[in-house]
Amino acid sequence: YQYLSRYKREEDLDHFLFIPERTEGTEEECLKLLLEFCGRHNPSWTELSNFTHFLNFQLSKCEKSVFCSPAAGEDFQGF
């Protein structure tokens, strides 16, 4: 939710890191955002679950990647 909400507001994500302890938004807002970005019309709970697991996996890998670090962002902005 933290990434998707910032992405939707067109905020810079190059220096943002997910903080699990940070609670943002309501359950309703989170569900609406997931439905919007899921890419499926009327997705099942399984499809939403798979989407969130895949997105979480990809974002975790991105945060740990040297190519996506803030230092690399100076040379490759938006990469």
- State pLDDT tens for residues 32-78: 999 999 989 999 999 999 999 999 999 888 888 877 766 665 666 66
Model pLDDT, residue 71: 64
47 assigned to some structural domain: yes
Q: Residue 38: is it exposed, middle or buried by C-beta count within 10 angstroms (0-12/13-18/19+)?
A: middle
Kindly state whether residue 44 falls inside one of the protein's structural domains.
yes
- The H or E element containing residue 69 is none
The more confidently predicted of residues 8 and 13 is 8
Mean pLDDT to the nearest integer, 29-34: 94
Residue 72 parent element (H or E): helix 70-75
Domain that holds residue 68: 1-9+24-75
How many distinct structural domains can be found in the chain?
1
Tell me if 14 is assigned to some domain. Answer: no
Alpha helices in 11-69 (DSSP H): 27-37, 45-64
Residue 15 included in any domain: no
Residue 5 confidence class, pLDDT cut points 50, 70, 90: very high
pTM equals: 0.74
Quote the tokens at residue 12. 């810079």
The verdict on residue 51 lying in a domain is: yes
Residue 61's CB is within 10 A of a number of other CB atoms, namely 10
